[in-house]
Amino acid sequence: ELLFPERLNCSHDLLDRWVESGQGDRPCIQGAGLRWTYAQLRAEANRIAQVLVEDMGVVPGNRVLLRGANTPQLAACWFAIMKVGAIAVATMPLLRAKELKQVIDKAEVSHALCDAALAEELALAQAQCPSLKTTVLYRSEAAEGLEARARTKRAHFDNVDTAAEDCCIIAFTSGTTGQPKGTMHNHRDVIAVLRCWPVHCLRATADDVFIGSPPLAFTFGLGGLLLFPMSVGASTVLLEKAAPEALLPAIAEYRATVCFTAPTSYRAMAPLVKNHDISSLRKCVSAGEALPAATRKLWKDVTGIEMIDGIGATEMLHIFISHDEASARPGATGRPVPGYRACVLDEEGRVLPPGQVGRLAVKGPTGCRYLADERQRNYVLNGWNLTGDAYLVDADGYFVYHARTDDMIISGGYNIAGPEVESALLAHPAVAECGVVGVPDEERGQIVKAFVVLREGHGAGAETVKTLQDFVKATIAPYKYPRAIEFRASLPRTETGKLQRFRLRQET
C-alpha cells in the first residue's frame, strides 16, 4: 500500500524539490538546441505558469491542450500546467484538425499551448470548437507568442495547492482500433507510478541519460522520457525526430544510457547499430506492443543488452507487468510490477488456472477512470481494469501475451493469436517486419494471412512464401501457419509504433 499526503502537486516532487534541496544545477533536459538544468526548467515552467494564469485566464481544473513534438519547451509547458492546477491534454503531433476536434470536444478543452510549427491544424479545429477559447503559440517569435509573454514574468511561482486526487492529466489512447478514448489521472497517480515500475524494474540512477522515441503525449513517453528521469534527478534528451535512423546517432551524440522505444524501432535499429558508437547505452525498454523473443535476441546479439519489456496502458498511466534484466524470460512480458495485481479471466469473469488463455485484468494504484461512461461500464469491473488483451499465466507466474482480444483469429475451429505467428516469422532472417491477421474464408471461417516486409536482399516470390510457411510450421503448431502471405514495402502503424491490424484486415 502506497501512502500519500492529502495535498500534493506532482510538479513539486519532480521539479521544485531538486532546486529546493540545492541540486538545481544538475543537468535536466536537452533537445531542440537547448540544455537546461533543473533550476532552468523550473524557471521556464514558472514563467509559463504566470502566462497561463495572468494572460490566458486559466483556473485550476481547466483543460489545457498541448500540441508539439518532444522538446524542452513542451516539457516546460507540461510542468506549467501542473503548477497552476490545470489538466494537461497532450496530443500527438501528427493529429489532424478532425482528430483534434474530437479530443477538444471530449475533454472540454478551454485553452491550448501549441508549437508554432504545428499551429495550422489546431486553428482549423479551433474554428469548429466553441469550448476552446485561447491558444498561445510557443517556439514563436511573435509579440503575442509564449516566449515574448514569458520574458515579462518572474522566475518565481507558488504552485497551486492541489489535492492529491485532483485530476491533472487527460490522456487519450493511441486508437489502435479506431476512436481515441480519454482516461483521467490525478497528481497521486503520477507519483504512484514513480514508486512502482521505475523502482522495481528500471532502477535508473541520477547519472543516467534517458532518450527515446515515444511522444510525451503518449504516457509511455511521458513516463519514460520525463517523469522517470526527473524522479531520480537524472537527465533526459527530447528528440523532435526519433525515427530509428535518427535515434541511433542521437544515442551516440548524447551518450545516452537508457532508451525507451517500441519493438519495431529496435528491429529497425539492429542492423544499423554497427555504424554507431552506442557503448554508453546500458538499459533498453520496450513497450507499446509485444516483444517477440526473436527481437529480444536480435538486440542482445548486436548490443549485448537484455531488454526490459513491459506492458502498460494509457488507462493505467504506465507499465504494470514487466521484469528486470535478471528475470527476463523470452516470449513473456514478465510478472505484475510490485504494487499491481494481475490475473487472467474467462468470459464470465472467473480467474483461469495457469496455462489457459483469457482476458487480462489488472488492479493497482492507478487506472479505472475513463472519460466516457460506456467505456467505464465495459472495461472496469470491481476496481479491475480489463485491458482488452488475451494473456495466459505460466506455471511460474509469468504473463504471456497472445493478442488483443479482438485480434484473435478463429480458423477451422482453432483459436490462433496473430502475434504468435508474427513472432515465429520474425525469427526468420528474411523478415524485417510482419503483421498477421485473420481474413474471411468460406471453408475455414477465417484463414491466417501474413503481411511481410522483407529485409534487403530477399526476393518476394512463391519460393519465399513456401520457405516462410515451412519455417513457421517447423517452429509452432503447423495449423497456425499463414496460408496466405503478401509482401509489402511497409506496414500501417500508429504514431506510437503499434501495428494497425484492423487496417490490414480492411486492405484484403
- Residue placing its CB nearer to ligand 3UK in the complex, 322 or 464: 322
Residue 504 phi, psi (nearest 5): -60, -40
- Residue placing its CB nearer to ligand 3UK in the complex, 68 or 288: 288
* Residues 6 or more apart in contact with residue 70 via CB below 8 angstroms: 31, 215, 216, 221, 225, 238, 239, 240, 242
How many CA atoms does the CB half-sphere of 294 hold within 13 Å?
19
CB of 322 to ligand 3UK, least distance (A): 8
Chain position whose Cβ is nearest to ligand 3UK: 312
CB of 1 to ligand 3UK, least distance (A): 23
Query: Interface residues with ligand 3UK (CB under 6 A)?
Result: 173-174, 219-220, 287-291, 309-314, 318-319, 333, 387-389, 401, 404, 496
- Residue placing its CB nearer to ligand 3UK in the complex, 19 or 201: 201
3-state secondary structure of 235: strand
Q: Closest by alpha carbon to 331, among 291, 303, 285, 358?
A: 291
Torsion from C-alpha of 404, 409, 410, 412, nearest 10 degrees: -160
Q: Is 339 left (phi over 0), alpha (psi -120 to 50) or beta?
A: left
- Residue placing its CB nearer to ligand 3UK in the complex, 42 or 404: 404
Q: Closest by alpha carbon to 404, among 294, 504, 281, 500?
A: 500
- Residue placing its CB nearer to ligand 3UK in the complex, 313 or 447: 313
DSSP 254-287: HT--EEEE-HHHHHHHGGGGGGS--TT--EEEE-
- The CA angle 286-292-294, to the nearest 5 degrees, is 110
Residue 319 identity (one-letter amino acid): I
- Residue placing its CB nearer to ligand 3UK in the complex, 157 or 218: 218
CB of 219 to ligand 3UK, least distance (A): 4
Q: CB of 292 within 8 A of CB of 264?
A: no
CB of 202 to ligand 3UK, least distance (A): 12
Pairing of strands 209-212, 258-261: parallel
- Residue placing its CB nearer to ligand 3UK in the complex, 38 or 220: 220
- Residue placing its CB nearer to ligand 3UK in the complex, 16 or 289: 289
CB of 94 to ligand 3UK, least distance (A): 14
* Residues 6 or more apart in contact with residue 377 via CB below 8 angstroms: none
CB of 296 to ligand 3UK, least distance (A): 11
CB of 221 to ligand 3UK, least distance (A): 8
CB of 389 to ligand 3UK, least distance (A): 5
